[in-house]
Protein backbone atom coordinates (compact mmCIF):
# COMPACT_ATOMS: atom_id res chain seq x y z
CA UNK A 1 0.00 0.00 0.00
CA UNK A 2 1.36 3.40 -0.99
CA UNK A 3 0.84 6.42 1.26
CA UNK A 4 0.63 9.64 -0.75
CA UNK A 5 0.43 13.18 0.61
CA UNK A 6 0.67 15.31 -2.55
CA UNK A 7 -2.23 15.84 -4.98
CA UNK A 8 -0.03 15.55 -8.10
CA UNK A 9 1.25 12.12 -7.01
CA UNK A 10 -2.29 10.97 -6.19
CA UNK A 11 -3.57 12.09 -9.59
CA UNK A 12 -0.63 10.34 -11.32
CA UNK A 13 -1.42 7.01 -9.68
CA UNK A 14 -5.19 7.30 -10.25
CA UNK A 15 -4.60 8.15 -13.94
CA UNK A 16 -2.55 4.97 -14.39
CA UNK A 17 -5.40 2.90 -12.94
CA UNK A 18 -7.99 4.71 -15.08
CA UNK A 19 -5.93 4.03 -18.23
CA UNK A 20 -6.06 0.33 -17.33
CA UNK A 21 -9.86 0.56 -17.02
CA UNK A 22 -9.80 -0.32 -13.32
CA UNK A 23 -12.77 0.40 -11.06
CA UNK A 24 -11.90 2.52 -8.03
CA UNK A 25 -13.67 2.53 -4.65
CA UNK A 26 -12.95 5.22 -2.07
CA UNK A 27 -13.18 5.20 1.73
CA UNK A 28 -12.74 8.70 3.21
CA UNK A 29 -11.89 8.76 6.93
CA UNK A 30 -10.47 10.99 9.64
CA UNK A 31 -8.23 8.18 10.89
CA UNK A 32 -8.14 6.53 14.33
CA UNK A 33 -9.49 3.52 12.51
CA UNK A 34 -11.59 0.79 14.09
CA UNK A 35 -13.43 -2.25 12.79
CA UNK A 36 -16.24 -0.02 11.44
CA UNK A 37 -13.76 1.62 9.04
CA UNK A 38 -12.23 -1.71 8.13
CA UNK A 39 -15.70 -3.01 7.20
CA UNK A 40 -15.86 -0.12 4.70
CA UNK A 41 -12.52 -1.13 3.17
CA UNK A 42 -13.63 -4.77 3.00
CA UNK A 43 -16.84 -3.75 1.23
CA UNK A 44 -14.86 -1.50 -1.13
CA UNK A 45 -12.58 -4.41 -2.03
CA UNK A 46 -15.58 -6.55 -2.98
CA UNK A 47 -16.99 -4.00 -5.42
CA UNK A 48 -13.89 -2.51 -7.09
CA UNK A 49 -10.44 -3.36 -8.47
CA UNK A 50 -8.58 -0.75 -6.44
CA UNK A 51 -9.33 0.74 -3.02
CA UNK A 52 -8.24 4.24 -2.01
CA UNK A 53 -8.64 5.41 1.61
CA UNK A 54 -7.96 8.89 2.92
CA UNK A 55 -7.05 10.10 6.38
CA UNK A 56 -7.71 13.80 6.84
CA UNK A 57 -8.88 15.38 10.09
CA UNK A 58 -11.01 18.00 8.41
CA UNK A 59 -10.89 21.34 10.28
CA UNK A 60 -13.91 22.63 8.35
CA UNK A 61 -16.32 20.20 10.02
CA UNK A 62 -15.32 21.04 13.61
CA UNK A 63 -17.24 23.75 15.46
CA UNK A 64 -15.59 26.61 17.35
CA UNK A 65 -16.16 24.81 20.67
CA UNK A 66 -14.97 21.42 19.39
CA UNK A 67 -11.33 20.65 20.06
CA UNK A 68 -9.77 19.46 16.78
CA UNK A 69 -6.35 19.45 18.49
CA UNK A 70 -7.49 16.61 20.74
CA UNK A 71 -8.84 14.48 17.91
CA UNK A 72 -6.96 11.15 18.17
CA UNK A 73 -4.25 10.75 15.54
CA UNK A 74 -2.90 7.21 15.14
CA UNK A 75 -1.32 7.21 11.67
CA UNK A 76 1.11 4.28 12.05
CA UNK A 77 -1.54 1.95 13.52
CA UNK A 78 -4.05 3.12 10.87
CA UNK A 79 -1.61 2.37 8.03
CA UNK A 80 -1.06 -1.12 9.44
CA UNK A 81 -4.82 -1.80 9.61
CA UNK A 82 -5.41 -0.53 6.07
CA UNK A 83 -2.54 -2.61 4.72
CA UNK A 84 -3.92 -5.74 6.42
CA UNK A 85 -7.39 -5.00 5.04
CA UNK A 86 -5.98 -4.84 1.50
CA UNK A 87 -6.22 -1.10 0.82
CA UNK A 88 -4.15 -0.14 -2.27
CA UNK A 89 -3.51 3.56 -1.67
CA UNK A 90 -3.76 5.87 1.32
CA UNK A 91 -4.09 9.63 0.71
CA UNK A 92 -2.96 11.72 3.71
CA UNK A 93 -3.11 15.40 2.72
CA UNK A 94 -2.33 18.22 5.17
CA UNK A 95 -4.82 21.06 5.82
CA UNK A 96 -2.58 23.36 3.72
CA UNK A 97 -2.93 20.97 0.77
CA UNK A 98 -6.72 20.74 1.04
CA UNK A 99 -7.34 24.40 1.97
CA UNK A 100 -4.38 26.35 0.49
CA UNK A 101 -6.23 29.68 0.81
CA UNK A 102 -7.39 28.95 4.36
CA UNK A 103 -10.91 28.07 5.50
CA UNK A 104 -12.31 31.60 5.14
CA UNK A 105 -11.48 31.84 1.44
CA UNK A 106 -12.58 28.30 0.58
CA UNK A 107 -15.58 27.76 -1.73
CA UNK A 108 -18.03 25.42 -0.08
CA UNK A 109 -20.78 22.93 -0.80
CA UNK A 110 -23.95 23.07 1.28
CA UNK A 111 -26.90 20.67 1.03
CA UNK A 112 -30.25 22.15 2.13
CA UNK A 113 -32.95 20.36 4.15
CA UNK A 114 -31.37 17.01 5.12
CA UNK A 115 -28.34 18.77 6.61
CA UNK A 116 -30.36 21.35 8.56
CA UNK A 117 -31.76 19.33 11.43
CA UNK A 118 -30.53 17.01 14.21
CA UNK A 119 -26.71 16.97 14.03
CA UNK A 120 -26.89 19.94 11.65
CA UNK A 121 -28.70 21.93 14.34
CA UNK A 122 -26.49 20.78 17.23
CA UNK A 123 -23.29 21.33 15.24
CA UNK A 124 -23.75 24.43 13.03
CA UNK A 125 -21.51 24.33 9.95
CA UNK A 126 -20.62 20.67 10.48
CA UNK A 127 -22.30 19.28 7.37
CA UNK A 128 -21.05 22.15 5.22
CA UNK A 129 -17.55 21.08 6.27
CA UNK A 130 -18.30 17.44 5.51
CA UNK A 131 -19.81 18.04 2.07
CA UNK A 132 -17.08 20.50 1.09
CA UNK A 133 -14.25 18.13 1.96
CA UNK A 134 -16.00 15.06 0.54
CA UNK A 135 -16.70 16.93 -2.72
CA UNK A 136 -13.07 17.98 -2.88
CA UNK A 137 -11.81 14.45 -2.11
CA UNK A 138 -14.19 13.04 -4.74
CA UNK A 139 -12.72 15.45 -7.31
CA UNK A 140 -9.19 14.39 -6.37
CA UNK A 141 -9.75 10.62 -6.23
CA UNK A 142 -12.49 10.45 -8.91
CA UNK A 143 -13.84 7.15 -7.57
CA UNK A 144 -16.56 5.07 -9.20
CA UNK A 145 -17.84 4.09 -5.76
CA UNK A 146 -17.53 5.57 -2.26
CA UNK A 147 -18.30 3.73 0.98
CA UNK A 148 -19.67 5.37 4.14
CA UNK A 149 -20.78 3.91 7.47
CA UNK A 150 -24.45 3.93 8.43
CA UNK A 151 -23.56 4.87 12.01
CA UNK A 152 -23.46 8.42 10.57
CA UNK A 153 -26.90 7.97 8.99
CA UNK A 154 -27.61 11.66 8.46
CA UNK A 155 -24.15 12.14 6.91
CA UNK A 156 -24.89 9.35 4.41
CA UNK A 157 -28.18 11.04 3.41
CA UNK A 158 -26.47 14.42 3.09
CA UNK A 159 -23.71 12.97 0.87
CA UNK A 160 -26.20 10.98 -1.22
CA UNK A 161 -28.18 14.20 -1.76
CA UNK A 162 -25.03 16.12 -2.76
CA UNK A 163 -24.09 13.41 -5.28
CA UNK A 164 -27.60 13.46 -6.80
CA UNK A 165 -28.01 17.25 -6.79
CA UNK A 166 -24.58 17.87 -8.35
CA UNK A 167 -24.78 14.91 -10.78
CA UNK A 168 -21.59 13.33 -9.51
CA UNK A 169 -21.02 9.98 -11.28
CA UNK A 170 -20.31 8.14 -8.04
CA UNK A 171 -22.25 5.29 -6.43
CA UNK A 172 -22.58 5.71 -2.68
CA UNK A 173 -22.57 2.45 -0.74
CA UNK A 174 -23.77 2.60 2.87
CA UNK A 175 -22.29 -0.08 5.12
CA UNK A 176 -23.93 -1.45 8.29
CA UNK A 177 -22.80 -0.15 11.68
CA UNK A 178 -20.35 -2.39 13.52
CA UNK A 179 -21.23 -2.78 17.21
CA UNK A 180 -19.65 -4.09 20.37
CA UNK A 181 -21.48 -7.06 21.95
CA UNK A 182 -23.08 -4.53 24.35
CA UNK A 183 -24.76 -2.90 21.32
CA UNK A 184 -22.57 0.23 21.50
CA UNK A 185 -21.82 1.42 17.96
CA UNK A 186 -18.07 1.56 17.23
CA UNK A 187 -16.83 5.14 17.03
CA UNK A 188 -13.56 7.01 17.52
CA UNK A 189 -15.44 8.96 20.19
CA UNK A 190 -15.74 5.82 22.35
CA UNK A 191 -12.06 6.46 23.21
CA UNK A 192 -13.24 9.38 25.34
CA UNK A 193 -15.36 7.08 27.57
CA UNK A 194 -14.03 5.95 30.96
CA UNK A 195 -14.94 2.53 32.37
CA UNK A 196 -18.13 3.69 34.11
CA UNK A 197 -19.29 5.62 31.01
CA UNK A 198 -18.58 2.60 28.81
CA UNK A 199 -21.12 0.68 30.93
CA UNK A 200 -23.70 3.44 30.59
CA UNK A 201 -23.25 4.10 26.84
CA UNK A 202 -25.10 0.98 25.56
CA UNK A 203 -28.31 2.56 26.96
CA UNK A 204 -28.41 4.59 23.73
CA UNK A 205 -28.75 1.59 21.40
CA UNK A 206 -30.95 -0.24 23.94
CA UNK A 207 -33.45 2.63 23.92
CA UNK A 208 -33.39 2.80 20.11
CA UNK A 209 -34.41 -0.87 20.13
CA UNK A 210 -37.10 -0.21 22.73
CA UNK A 211 -38.47 2.68 20.68
CA UNK A 212 -38.39 0.69 17.43
CA UNK A 213 -40.53 -1.95 19.12
CA UNK A 214 -42.87 0.56 20.79
CA UNK A 215 -43.78 2.39 17.54
CA UNK A 216 -45.04 -0.85 16.00
CA UNK A 217 -48.13 -0.71 18.23
CA UNK A 218 -48.39 2.99 19.15
CA UNK A 219 -48.22 5.93 16.73
CA UNK A 220 -47.59 8.60 19.35
CA UNK A 221 -44.11 9.05 17.86
CA UNK A 222 -43.33 12.27 19.76
CA UNK A 223 -44.46 10.95 23.14
CA UNK A 224 -42.56 7.68 22.74
CA UNK A 225 -39.40 9.50 21.65
CA UNK A 226 -39.66 11.70 24.76
CA UNK A 227 -39.95 8.58 26.90
CA UNK A 228 -36.83 7.08 25.25
CA UNK A 229 -34.94 10.38 25.84
CA UNK A 230 -35.94 10.30 29.48
CA UNK A 231 -34.76 6.64 29.79
CA UNK A 232 -31.38 7.60 28.28
CA UNK A 233 -31.07 10.47 30.77
CA UNK A 234 -31.99 8.22 33.69
CA UNK A 235 -29.25 5.79 32.57
CA UNK A 236 -26.72 8.62 33.10
CA UNK A 237 -26.40 10.27 29.69
CA UNK A 238 -27.73 13.60 28.47
CA UNK A 239 -29.90 13.23 25.39
CA UNK A 240 -29.18 15.81 22.68
CA UNK A 241 -32.03 14.63 20.43
CA UNK A 242 -34.03 11.55 19.55
CA UNK A 243 -36.42 11.70 16.60
CA UNK A 244 -38.42 9.28 14.50
CA UNK A 245 -37.96 10.32 10.88
CA UNK A 246 -38.74 9.40 7.30
CA UNK A 247 -35.77 7.21 6.29
CA UNK A 248 -34.79 9.23 3.20
CA UNK A 249 -35.99 12.82 3.69
CA UNK A 250 -35.30 12.77 7.47
CA UNK A 251 -38.45 14.83 7.99
CA UNK A 252 -40.39 13.97 11.18
CA UNK A 253 -42.26 10.75 10.39
CA UNK A 254 -45.98 10.91 9.72
CA UNK A 255 -48.23 8.03 10.75
CA UNK A 256 -48.51 6.97 7.06
CA UNK A 257 -44.74 6.58 6.59
CA UNK A 258 -43.50 2.99 6.53
CA UNK A 259 -39.73 3.33 6.04
CA UNK A 260 -38.46 5.09 9.15
CA UNK A 261 -35.22 5.80 10.92
CA UNK A 262 -34.78 6.72 14.57
CA UNK A 263 -31.91 9.19 14.91
CA UNK A 264 -30.36 9.92 18.29
CA UNK A 265 -27.44 11.75 19.89
CA UNK A 266 -26.51 11.81 23.56
CA UNK A 267 -23.63 13.09 25.67
CA UNK A 268 -21.86 10.49 27.79
CA UNK A 269 -19.14 12.17 29.84
CA UNK A 270 -16.98 14.07 27.35
CA UNK A 271 -18.20 12.06 24.37
CA UNK A 272 -21.14 12.99 22.16
CA UNK A 273 -22.40 9.67 20.81
CA UNK A 274 -24.74 9.22 17.86
CA UNK A 275 -26.69 6.15 16.80
CA UNK A 276 -29.70 5.22 14.72
CA UNK A 277 -32.03 2.34 13.91
CA UNK A 278 -34.06 1.78 10.77
CA UNK A 279 -37.60 0.47 11.13
CA UNK A 280 -40.01 -0.79 8.48
CA UNK A 281 -43.62 -0.64 9.67
CA UNK A 282 -46.15 -3.10 8.30
O1 LIG B 1 -17.23 10.31 8.66
C2 LIG B 1 -16.11 10.88 8.69
O3 LIG B 1 -15.12 10.33 9.20
C4 LIG B 1 -15.96 12.26 8.08
O5 LIG B 1 -17.08 13.02 8.29
C6 LIG B 1 -15.59 12.22 6.58
C7 LIG B 1 -16.69 11.60 5.74
C8 LIG B 1 -14.29 11.42 6.39
C9 LIG B 1 -15.35 13.64 6.07
O10 LIG B 1 -14.32 14.27 6.74
Q: What are the chain's domains?
A: 2-175 (3.40.50.620), 188-280 (3.30.1300.10)
Q: Using the mean position of ligand 1's atoms as its centre, give its distance from the Cα of residue 156 in Å.
A: 10
Ligand 1 binding pocket mutation candidate from 29, 131, 146 (most atoms within 8 A of CB) = 29
Please name the residue whose Cα sits nearest to atom 6 of ligand 1. Answer: 29
d(CA 11, CA 13) in angstroms, rounded, equals 6
Torsion sign over Cα 44, 46, 47, 52: positive
Contacts of 94 (CB under 8 A, 6+ apart): 5
User: How far does residue 191's CA lie from ligand 1's centre (Å)?
Assistant: 17
Atom 3 of ligand 1: nearest residue by CA position: 29
- Interhelix angle for 203-214 vs 221-235, to 10°? 160
Closest CA to 232 of 187, 274, 179, 278: 274
For residue 29, the CA-to-ligand 1 centroid distance in Å is 5
C-alpha 122/C-alpha 111 separation (Å) is: 16
Residues whose beta carbon lies within 6 Å of some atom of ligand 1 = 28-30, 58, 61, 130, 133-134, 152, 155
Give nearest CA residue, ligand 1 atom 1.
29
For residue 14, give the DSSP letter.
H
Which pLDDT does position 110 carry in this prediction?
Answer: 98
Global pTM reads 0.97
How much is the pLDDT for 67?
A: 84
How far is ligand 1, taken at its centre, from the CA of residue 203, in Å?
25
Q: Ligand 1: which atom is nearest the Cα of residue 54?
A: 8
pLDDT of residue 256: 94
d(CA 42, CA 44): 5
Please give the pLDDT value at position 169. Answer: 98
Catalytic positions are 37
Report phi then psi at 188, rounded to 5: -60, -30
* Contacts of 82 by beta carbon, 8 Å cutoff, 6+ apart: 1, 33, 41, 53, 90
Give the angle subtended at the CA of 263 by the CAs of 261 and 265, to the nearest 5°.
Answer: 170
> With 0-12 CB in 10 A as exposed, 13-18 as middle and 19+ as buried, what is 280?
exposed
Residues of the chain with pLDDT under 70: none
Amino acid sequence: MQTIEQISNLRGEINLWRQQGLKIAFVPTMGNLHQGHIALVEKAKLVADKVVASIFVNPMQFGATEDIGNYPRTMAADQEKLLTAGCDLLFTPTPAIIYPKGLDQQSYVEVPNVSQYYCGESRPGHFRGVTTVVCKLFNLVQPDIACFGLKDYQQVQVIQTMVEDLSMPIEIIAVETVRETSGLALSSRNNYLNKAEKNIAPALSQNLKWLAQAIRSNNDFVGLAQKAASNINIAGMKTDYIHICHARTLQPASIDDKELVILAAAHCGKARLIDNLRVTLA
